[in-house]
Amino acid sequence: MIRSIGKIIGRIGLVARQSVFVEIDPKTELPIRILKTMKATVDLPPERVRQMARSVAVGYIRNQVIDRARRNGIVFCEFCGDRINEFIGEMHEVIPKGDGGEVSLDNSRFICNGCHTGKPDSEHGDRRWQTSKNTK
């Protein structure tokens, strides 16, 4: 009993740490950007800022990016225009988070694997799954 209570408290703490502030689109009432700093929350009107679980915010933004790539009910790669679907398409950050980018509608594109990682001239080069590297 005590052990399970500890697990529950641990999960609550994990959820609290995964909470983020987001900028809300006043027209759709949906998140359009995960704010990176507390200063960013102060720079916006209070009615445009909400707090939610990071996973929920990313899901809302992802769905909006997919909807932006959809024309007449069909999803297309935002780079090459090839037909894809929402299950095999990949999210691409125009400016990577490591370079100061953010999770937002403006910084995200929904693209095919070929444009993202599948070809030598794709956005991230010809990346292949690696389980280990040979050090010899």
CA distance 34 to 38: 11
pLDDT confidence of residue 101: 93
pLDDT confidence of residue 1: 45
Please give the structure tokens belonging to residue 49: 């800022």
pLDDT confidence of residue 120: 65
Distances (CA, A) of 79 to 82, 85, 111: 8, 14, 6
Per-residue pLDDT for 50 more than 70?
yes
* Cβ neighbours around 119 below 10 Å, total: 13
> Is 110:91 a contact under the CB 8 Å cutoff?
yes
Handedness of CA 9, 103, 81, 30 (dihedral sign): positive
User: Per residue in 36-48, pLDDT tens?
Assistant: 999 999 999 999 9
49-53 and 70-71 strand pairing = unpaired
- The reported pTM is 0.76
Least confident of 8-12, 26-30, 49-53, 116-120: 8-12
User: Measured at the alpha carbon of residue 32, what is the angle toward residues 50 and 125, in degrees to the nearest 5?
Assistant: 135
Q: What are the sequence ranges of the domains in the chain? A: 7-118
Average pLDDT over the chain, rounded to an integer: 84
